[in-house]
A and B are shown apart, each in its own frame.
Chain A
Amino acid sequence: MATITSSASIPAARARISRSERLAPAVFILPAVLVVLFISIFPLILSLFLSLSRLRFQAGGLEVQFVGLDNYRKLLLGNEQKVLFGVLGEPSLFGWAILACVAASLGLVIYRTARRQSVGAIIGRLLASVVLLGLTYLIAATLFAPEGRPGTLVVTMLYVAVGITLQYLIGLGLALLCAQPLPGRRFFRVVFLLPMMITPVGVGYLFRMLADTNKGPLEPLWIALGMQDFAWSNNAWGARVAVMIGDIWQWTPFMFIVLLAAIEAQEVEPVEAAIVDGAGSFDIFRHITLPAILPVSTTLILIRMIEAFKIIDLPNILTNGGPGTATETLTLYAYRIWRALDIGGSAAIAYILLFLVTFIAMLYVRTLRNRLGTT
């Protein structure tokens, strides 16, 4: 399957290029591409098809009835609308301020593009801006509005944003500390990895045990604070915070270990030279360590972002998405209706997620990652 034509273009490799050498690029990349193609493209297209249809179980197999965009219509406009988008309210002053800031910066980007670049680039950026502005409005009108209530879409984005930010910062901090020549650091390194090793479902149940304020380990603390009549699980934000704590606990190790490996892999001479020159540790971090780990960081954030958008186990086990719809994420929602045999609807949610994440990931790759000078 010659989907990819390749040409080796290595500056210094002009010497003698044998036949196998010319084939090398293909040999390196094709196995991966073929395996992914084999396993991914068929489900991808089939589930797109499922999202446009309704499944019925009949004698001798499945009856697939094509319903066009009906599954999407139900989600975006029908009974399910409130689950997905939440309840929109009039944004507060703060909400408007955020909206205004985003609108202004997008305007600036488009203005700059308009002066320098082609029509295609302008249209692309306009479209991206419209989607971004829409998402910002949704956030402002649900999270930053007294009357509003976030739906699964915004809740998912909230988990992703807060989770990744904190995981990255904590992971980086711990990695920097662990990279120091401290006695006993090996102990910390292994300990810090542990949460990642537990099956996600196990982490969910572990946190359900810990968060039980009646028979869990925090019960005495809870009573000492005079909160025996307060249940975090009754409160929308209490429940969301519980989910986020679990998520941070579980996934900080991922950030930690990759960043640690990146810090340890960096070259030592510049650091030594800087120390000899009398640079402070913050300067060393900013000018030497940070640039060295930035490429890995951007990758890390992208991978974690894609994974984090699929968050399901923690909300599913801690609260089943409750109270009400407060902690429900897109994937959990898709899973719940999938179990109830609404396979088309579930596929439609998955595709909405696919569009959203692809959009955000592309935006991220185009703006941040490429600007930071990686491929």
Chain B
Amino acid sequence: MNPKKIASLAALSALILAACAAPPAAAPAQPAQPAQPAEQQPAAPGKKFAGVTVNAITFSGPQIAEPMQRRGKEFSEMTGATINVVTVPFADLYQKILNDFATGTNSFDVIVFAPQWMVDYIEPGYLEDLTDRVKADSDLQWDDIGLFFRDFSATYNGRIYTIPLDGDFQMVYYRTDIAKELGLQPPKTWDDYIAFAKAVSEKKLTTDDGKPVYGSCIAKKKAAQSYWMITSVASAFIQSQGTGQGAFFDLETFKPLYNNEAFARALEVYKETTQFGPPDEINLDVGDTRGLWTAGQCALTIDWGDIGTLAIEEGSKAKDKTGAVILPGSKQVLDRKTGKLVDCTPELCPHAIDGVNHAPFAAFGGWSGAINKASKPEVKDAAFAYLSYMNQPAQSNVDVTIGKTGFNPYRVSQFKNLDNWLKAGMSEQAAKDYLGAIEASLNSPNMVLDLRIPQNQYYQGIVLDGAIAKFLAGEQDLAATMKEIEDGWEQKTEELGRDKQLAAYRSTLGVQK
């Protein structure tokens, strides 16, 4: 009997050992499978980066990963480098990259990310300074890139850290056919926006299959894009003296600019648009509003450049009916000394057009590539060449016209030249409209840079977003909402150090001490 018991005992422990031993043994067998379609390129000897492997990370889905893989393959053939593109779900990309850097795991050489996060990565020293490389690379045609993306978006404290691959800022889209039918002009100010929405709403229009057309559709869902939308509305009231002025904090005291008459007005506008929106507007994210737009159910919306390319996709009911304008402005702006809303004067609003101050908002910032400082030198070289290759006009000017990619225009040559757009299926009028709005926004010296101070995710995604959600749901009034934002931001600022945050804020805006 005894030997048997011992045998079963041994069997049990063997199983447990197997639990620990077998999997690691199985794991190394993994790389043998084709992990990514783009890799497994036999290292061609003689080519510039033969034998170098670059691991890149971005979010899953075709928008960014598809062009990265497609261009990665071309790049491999040219240079012999292997490009592995790892993807993780969008919502967890920020944490995933940060964890990898902070724990010294360093699995990734190239990160393609939203530059809004870059200060959180630059401050601890995780990202490579690309200034010299950019200057040395003439193929990049750096000067062709929009001024804002060159000098603000890619830059921190005067140094270049990222290569833009995408241009992100918000615009207002309107239905040209409805505007014509009702005799309305595209909105110039937020008051116009409300008037437009109201007029459409009162008409009770329907689509050809009998669904209601709403005056305005804005993605107001909590913990989604709502906090960018409110900033798009607020920026025209808050920033009037150029990008360097900033639209979030005072440049001297770092007091929030979100508890004053200007932001109160923005909140009122924001809430008022809800009346003309779909009944469930406060539960819609941009995916939903874009769906409504292409179903022809919206007369106005605030969105990134994506709508322009989505509207021409198959099955869209807004094809050739989609017009775009720069974000509406305001004739009154914030007087930062008093916190009051005052009329525009040439001194106060130097960039105003016809007395209207526009402040296009570069929400999110546009996907950009950066390089891990901890990577090996030859890998860094290959990584930079790869990012440069994707960014060069020959490649990017085609990629931005493809609806499937999430790339929006960011180079001057991209909106000067209509050919690629007409090839992609836009009518000439739509292309002119769309690119005109992009040009107006991109050329605006008063573009608003998204908040990029350390832990901006907390400032915007938690405090601002939470307060706005409660305001829209009627859980609290306007005053309480503004106070909640101010208190929450101040608390975080105190926690992280006011001077440090202020210095970072000024650095992102290119304000030198």
Contact = CB atoms under 8 A, between A and B. Distances in A.
A62 B12 contact: no
A61 to B, nearest CB: 6
A143 to B, nearest CB: 15
Contacts of B297: 214
Nearest to A65: B495
B295 A79 contact: no
A358 interface: no
Contact of B282 (A19, A229, A233, A325): A233
Interface size class for chain A? 35 or more
B91 interface: yes
Contacts of A149: 475
A231 B221 CA distance: 13
Interface string B465-499: 01001101111000000001001100100010000
Interface in B252-295: 278-283, 291-292, 295
Given A21-B5, A61-B102, A214-B292, A323 B458 contact: no
B457 A340 contact: yes
B105 to A, nearest CB: 11
A54 B495 CA distance: 9
Interface in A274-294: none
B455 A336 contact: no
Interface string A317-345: 00111111110000000001111111000
A239 to B, nearest CB: 8
B280 A233 contact: yes
B381 to A, nearest CB: 23
A247 to B, nearest CB: 18
Nearest to B123: A57
B59 to A, nearest CB: 14
B222 interface: yes
B222 A321 contact: yes
A325 B470 contact: yes
Given A20-B6, A149-B475, A231 B279 contact: yes
Contacts of B469: 321-325
A180 to B, nearest CB: 40
Interface in A3-51: 18-21, 23-24, 27, 31, 35
B49 interface: no
Contacts of B472: 323-324
A326 B95 CA distance: 26
B9 interface: yes
A229 B279 contact: yes
A324 B279 contact: no
A337 B473 contact: no
Nearest to B285: A320
A61 B282 contact: no
B202 to A, nearest CB: 15
Contacts of B16: 31
Given A337-B462, A340-B457, A324 B2 contact: no
A78 interface: yes
A320 B222 contact: yes
A320 B279 contact: no
B237 interface: no
A94 interface: no
Contacts of B475: 149, 324-325
A78 B491 contact: yes
Nearest to A59: B125
A363 B26 CA distance: 44
B461 interface: yes
A325 B458 CA distance: 17
A201 B462 CA distance: 22
A324 B457 contact: no
A140 B98 CA distance: 43
A336 B464 CA distance: 13
Point out which of B92, B279, B455, B491 has the most chain A C-beta atoms below 10 A from its C-beta: B279
Interface of A: 18-21, 23-24, 27, 31, 35, 54, 57-62, 74, 78-79, 83, 149, 213-215, 228-234, 236, 239, 319-326, 336-342
15 contacts: A59-B126, A79-B487, A79-B488, A213-B279, A215-B291, A230-B279, A231-B278, A234-B283, A236-B473, A322-B282, A323-B283, A324-B472, A324-B474, A340-B462, A341-B457
Interface of B: 1-2, 5-6, 9, 12, 16, 19, 91-92, 94-95, 98, 101-104, 120, 123-126, 211-212, 221-224, 278-283, 291-292, 295, 297, 455, 457-458, 461-462, 466, 469-470, 472-475, 484, 487-488, 491, 495
Given A324-B475, A340-B457, 20 more contacts: A57-B101, A57-B120, A59-B125, A60-B104, A62-B103, A78-B491, A79-B484, A83-B466, A214-B292, A214-B297, A231-B280, A231-B281, A233-B280, A319-B222, A320-B223, A322-B283, A325-B475, A326-B473, A340-B458, A340-B462
